[in-house]
Amino acid sequence: MGKFNIPNEVVYTISNENFCRRNRLFTRERNEIMQCVLFEKPSGLVYPIYFTMPLYMPSNIRYLTYGRRIAEITGYRNSENIDAERLIDALQETVFPFFERIGTPQLLLEYLLTAQDVQHYFFCPPAKIGMLKAYTALYLHNRSLFFSMASETEQLIRNDHCFSETVTGQMCAELKTLTEQAQLPDTELNIFFEKIICSTRAIFK
């Protein structure tokens, strides 16, 4: 990955929103949701990226599934060097307000269920959106919605031929595990998610 500098004014703008910096990654935890701004330079251009990672979804790596490059949702243009003024405008006018819009699991679920621009902000297959809905619904103990989302998502997974057989099997197994957990009392369900949150949070340490 190529070398580049993040302008001080950009660092200040992001840090001023209570993000912590880890080299090229800025993170902020809000209500068991990690909100992130990342800078990558895989080739000649620097790509600022935003993404969210709900900590109640298990993972042993950071992933960019629920986000996209900032230039794809704003007027910012990727270039060899960061255009500080334009990027700050994009962050303040679009990215930070979006983070607030989905700043709690309840707000996130409402957004996923009602908004028309989900695929605009989350550049991922519908089945991945379905997984996010299912996890969030169960995390909020909305079991009836969870069962509906789990059934719908399983169909999306099986009908999406972009997934390998292995990935399809893994995602369906996750849904099966969630369905089993949904049968448990609230106290045990809370323990299930607390363990996931603790494990996923450790990725960012």
Indicate the pTM of the whole model. 0.94
Model pLDDT for residues 83-122, shown as the tens digit of each residue? 999 999 999 999 999 999 999 999 999 999 999 999 999 9
Model pLDDT for residues 14-24, shown as the tens digit of each residue? 999 999 999 99
- Position 171 scores a pLDDT of 94
Q: Are 112 and 146 in contact (CB under 8 A)?
A: no
DSSP symbols for 118-168: HHHHS-S-HHHHHHHHHHHHHHTT-HHHHHHHHHHHHHHHHH-TTS-HHHH
